[in-house]
């Protein structure tokens, strides 16, 4: 799917001839370095679909690259036959710039290929798309989103008939079709808007499915929530579930309530970044709120801020929120627990969850990084009937209870977090108190994520060099065991990830799958919080000094 450095000028010249007049003007205004980066290769279609910077060129997210990917999916569906075409595809999109245009173009291409197509009437969360695939009995689902990436990005995620992201074998099949398509001459487009518009009915069914996962905790009078959708797709459904469960005092940050693809109030619309909650905390202090949470643009991730006893607000990391939910669920379910119940987490998510699950005699298993692997386990459990999925989570702020959808869901997480905070408030505690109780019971855990951004071809080469160094040459007396998920027999699919077990902790190294970054994950633990922090500082320094 790639273009060599000698071919990019030919690709550029071809686009000059084929695109519209206004687009040609944009291309003519590009500098040589911009042209080379935009045309040096084709945007890679992987198991997550497409993701990249928006703009003109083969290496960009635009109407043409989206249409080509959609034509490939249409060819794959047509090859399956009339039943698959009649089952059709459901499409959703988030608040990013061009998301609606890309979604509409996707619908037109599918319709142009004689495939039944559903398109949400307005922006919707990614987890609702996952739910809608099975609710409407579709053969595929597509959502236009770049999740929590910066505003320059957009993406195109493809879901299978089980509601989960497509597995590698399906992605490979689609790629073969895409590779045979001419980006300008082979696209079949319907201009008649033959798709079916959907909205309220699916919303109501989705919220009913989410509410089934409620633990029916009564929300005390006066319990105050501050919520920020961070200009994204979460507002309608998050507020819908909060209302359904009886949480009446919900204040939505007005500056961040309306969808806006420029995300004007934040550097990045990512609830992993504490800075994203600056405005929410100001309002929480004003209204003496018990709880703050925020969702990313496609509302599959959620970040949490909790009030402490002294009235300050503390931002939780994804691991902390995950273990709080784990302990809360298992405590509630303990009397009715069965031997099949299983929690699923990723290999870079806290090992504290293992201790918690063990206390309640609940199995916990690891999968590779990425929530799609958690979704795959749901399908696997249903097929072999040996396990029952209870809860899945990852350190990057993704959570799911139940099997109504097959991806992380900030809507169900918002409900569970609210119930949890309300329950502890009735006990005279807040979520931070509950977290400290967990640490006192199981040990104090510290986590840290260090991300190194390395752009361009030089950056790509540097990331490869670093992975090779840590795989082959890294030596330290601290390391007790090295796990190489690319070469070792781990029982998991092969992946370019390394994990090093050290005394009282571990660290892992992996390249990002969606951005030009390499990530270093750290966790340490001890009987005291101070010692855990000291161990973390020592471990981080020992590792990060090697990448200079």
Angle of helix 318-333 relative to helix 431-442, nearest 10 degrees, comes to: 80
Residue 81: is it exposed, middle or buried by C-beta count within 10 angstroms (0-12/13-18/19+)?
Answer: exposed
Q: Which residues of 536-546 are buried (b: 16+ CB within 10 A; e: fewer)?
A: beebbeebeee
- What is the Rg, in whole angstroms, of the alpha carbon atoms belonging to the chain? 23
Concatenated DSSP letters of 34-62: HHHHHHSBPPP-BTTBEEEEBSSSTTSBS
In this structure, what token pair is assigned to residue 534? 């000291």
Q: How many residues does the chain have?
A: 548
H and E: helices and strands count for the chain: 18, 20
d(CA 288, CA 462): 48
In this structure, what token pair is assigned to residue 307? 């009030």
- Identify the helix (H) or strand (E) that includes residue 158: strand 153-159
The residue behind tokens 């990852």 is: 394
Angle at alpha carbon of residue 326, lines to 217 and 384, rounded to 5° = 105
* H helical segments located in 496-544: 529-544
In this structure, what token pair is assigned to residue 312? 């300050």
Concatenated DSSP letters of 534-547: HHHHHHHHHHHGGG
Residues sharing a CB contact under 8 Å with residue 477, sequence separation 6 or more, in sequence order: none
Q: Which of 147, 299, 396, 526 is catalytic?
A: 147
d(CA 141, CA 397): 23
* Annotated catalytic residue 147: yes
- Catalytic residue positions, numbered: 147
């Amino acid at each position: 799917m790639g273009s060599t450095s000698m071919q990019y000028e030919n690709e550029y010249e071809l686009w000059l001839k084929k695109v519209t007049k206004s687009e040609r003007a944009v291309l003519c205004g590009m500098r040589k370095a911009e042209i080379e980066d935009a045309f040096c290769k084709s945007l890679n279609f992987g198991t997550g679909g497409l993701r990249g910077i928006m703009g003109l060129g083969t290496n960009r997210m635009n109407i043409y690259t989206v249409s080509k990917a959609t034509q490939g999916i249409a060819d794959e569906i047509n090859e399956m036959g009339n039943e698959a075409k009649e089952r059709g595809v459901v499409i959703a999109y988030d608040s990013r710039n061009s998301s609606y245009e890309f979604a509409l173009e996707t619908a037109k291409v599918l319709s142009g290929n004689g495939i039944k197509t559903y398109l949400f009437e307005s922006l919707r969360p990614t987890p609702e798309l996952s739910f809608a695939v099975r609710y409407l009995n579709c053969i595929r689902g597509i959502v236009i989103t770049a999740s929590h990436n910066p505003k320059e990005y957009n993406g195109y995620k493809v879901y299978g008939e089980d509601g989960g992201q497509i597995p590698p074998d399906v992605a490979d099949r689609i790629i073969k079709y895409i590779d045979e398509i001419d980006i300008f001459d082979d696209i079949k487009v319907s201009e008649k808007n033959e798709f079916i518009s959907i909205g309220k009915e699916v919303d109501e069914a989705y919220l009913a499915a989410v509410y089934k996962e409620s633990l029916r905790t009564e929300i005390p009078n006066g319990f105050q929530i501050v919520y920020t959708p961070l200009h994204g797709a979460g507002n309608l459904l998050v507020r819908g579930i909060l209302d359904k469960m009886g949480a009446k005092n919900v204040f939505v940050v007005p500056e961040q309530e309306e969808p806006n693809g420029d995300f004007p109030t934040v550097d990045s619309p990512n609830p992993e970044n504490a800075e994203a909650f600056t405005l929410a905390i100001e309002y929480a202090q004003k209204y003496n709120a018990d709880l703050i949470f925020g969702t990313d643009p496609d509302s599959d991730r959620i970040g949490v801020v909790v009030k402490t006893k002294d009235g300050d607000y503390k931002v939780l990391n994804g691991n902390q929120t995950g273990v709080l939910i784990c302990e809360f669920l298992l405590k509630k379910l303990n009397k009715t627990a069965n031997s099949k119940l299983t929690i699923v987490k990723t290999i870079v998510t806290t090992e504290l969850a293992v201790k918690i699950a063990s206390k309640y005699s609940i199995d916990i298993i690891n999968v590779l990084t990425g929530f799609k692997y958690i979704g795959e386990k749901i399908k696997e459990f249903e097929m072999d009937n040996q396990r029952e999925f209870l809860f899945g989570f990852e350190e990057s702020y993704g959570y799911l209870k139940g099997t109504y959808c097959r991806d992380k869901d900030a809507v169900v997480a918002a409900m569970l977090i609210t119930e949890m905070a309300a329950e502890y408030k009735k006990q005279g505690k807040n979520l931070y108190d509950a977290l400290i109780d967990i640490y006192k019971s199981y040990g104090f855990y510290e986590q840290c994520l260090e991300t190194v951004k390395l752009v361009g071809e030089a950056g790509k080469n540097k990331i490869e060099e670093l992975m090779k160094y840590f795989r082959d040459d890294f030596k330290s007396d601290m390391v007790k065991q090295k796990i190489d998920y690319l070469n070792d027999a781990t029982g998991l699919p092969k992946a370019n990830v390394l994990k090093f077990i050290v005394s009282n902790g571990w660290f892992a190294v992996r390249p990002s799958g969606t951005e030009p970054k390499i990530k270093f994950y750290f966790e340490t633990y001890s009987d005291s919080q101070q010692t855990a922090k000291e161990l973390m500082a020592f471990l981080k320094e020992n590792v990060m000094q090697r990448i200079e």
